Amino acid sequence: MRALEIEQLDVDLGGRPVLRDVRLHLERGELVGLLGPNGAGKTTLLRAALALIRIRGGRVLVEGKQARPGRSAIGYVPQRHEFTWDFPISVEQAVLSGRTGRIGLLRRPAVDDRRAVGEALDRVQLTQLQRRPVGELSGGQRQRVLVARALALAPGILLLDEPFTGLDMPTQELLGDLFTSLAGEGRAVLMTTHDLVAAVESCTRLVLLNGRIIADGPPADVQDVELWRRTFGVSASSPLLKLIKAA
């Protein structure tokens, strides 16, 4: 059974077609890079997989079942601006908030919940900062909080929306190694990113998206520059293509 299966997905936003006939699957143990220009529908695809938006057609299956909001099998790391960082909570409380759907709004966290939060903080190397207010964190530390928040659910599927944007190199390396390790442990990881070279080097599969799937396969099979031109709408002399060739 596939971890995630998207079949003939159509999505409109504001009356405008954003995704058309998207067919994508995600297996356990894969680290898949979802690549495309701004406005290509990458975030929309992640939100459709989470059942957070209405779809026009097709279906999304999570571990063989129809996707529904708050499904515990999926951990989601949104872009940093989507989290309210000035809310007066600690790092530990922010990570614990990722388990709210499982704990319930009126119930206190159990021992298992605290243990899951501790393990997630340890994986992103934030244990020493667990009491610090989230508003005092650097950009890299905030990104690691969001990753830990998703990991606190111990998800079988992890969806990452631009996890490396604005991060320094040490934090990028820490998270990149973590995502590779998570896939190696049998989780299915789908990541949008603008770091195309890193995606080519680290992902087991690349999916080129611009409203539709342009290409899908191992990096070695997605080397035709025409595919990248069609995806990003660039000229034959674009520096982007030179980077891809070099990678």
The pLDDT, as a whole number, for residue 117 is 95
Indicate whether 103 and 181 sit together in one domain. Answer: no
- Name which of 45, 98, 82 is nearest 67 in CA terms: 45
Indicate whether 246 and 162 sit together in one domain. Answer: yes
Decide if pLDDT at 11 tops 90: yes
Out of 154, 182, 215, a domain closes at 154
Q: Is the dihedral of CA 44, 46, 48, 50 positive or negative?
A: negative
Indicate whether 146 and 162 sit together in one domain. Answer: no
Indicate whether 129 and 166 sit together in one domain. Answer: no
Query: Which residues constitute the domain of residue 110?
Result: 79-154
Instruction: Read off the pLDDT of each residue in 155-179 and give the average, rounded to a whole number.
Output: 94
Scan for tokens 């982007």, then name that residue: 240
Task: Tell me how many domains the chain contains.
Answer: 2
Indicate whether 160 and 243 sit together in one domain. Answer: yes
More confident residue, 183 or 73: 183
Cα 132 to its chain centre, rounded Å, is 25
Residue 99: pLDDT band (50, 70, 90) is confident
Indicate whether 39 and 103 sit together in one domain. Answer: no
Indicate whether 52 and 28 sit together in one domain. Answer: yes
Indicate whether 127 and 69 sit together in one domain. Answer: no
Decide if pLDDT at 101 tops 90: no
Out of 124, 154, 184, a domain closes at 154
> Can you tell me whether residue 63 is helix, strand or coil?
coil
Decide if pLDDT at 105 tops 80: no
CATH number for the domain spanning 62: value is 3.40.50.300
Instruction: Read off the pLDDT of each residue in 100-113 and give the average, rounded to a whole number.
Output: 74
Decide if pLDDT at 54 tops 90: yes
C-beta of residue 34 within 8 angstroms of C-beta of residue 186: no
Out of 154, 176, 210, a domain closes at 154
The pLDDT, as a whole number, for residue 108 is 78
Instruction: Read off the pLDDT of each residue in 137-151 and give the average, rounded to a whole number.
Output: 96
Condensed to tens digits (0 to 9), the pLDDT of residues 117-130 reads 999 999 999 999 99
Condensed to tens digits (0 to 9), the pLDDT of residues 196-214 reads 888 998 999 999 999 999 9
Instruction: Read off the pLDDT of each residue in 173-190 and give the average, rounded to a whole number.
Output: 96
What is the rounded average pLDDT for all residues in the chain?
A: 92
Indicate whether 167 and 233 sit together in one domain. Answer: yes
Quickly list DSSP for 102-124. HH-TTS---HHHHHHHHHHHHHT
The pLDDT, as a whole number, for residue 223 is 87
C-beta of residue 193 within 8 angstroms of C-beta of residue 164: yes
The pLDDT, as a whole number, for residue 218 is 96
Indicate whether 169 and 241 sit together in one domain. Answer: yes
pTM of the model: 0.93
- What does the DSSP 8-state code read for residue 115? H
Indicate whether 150 and 160 sit together in one domain. Answer: no
Rounded Cα distance between 48 and 8, Å, is 12
The pLDDT, as a whole number, for residue 104 is 61
Indicate whether 95 and 129 sit together in one domain. Answer: yes
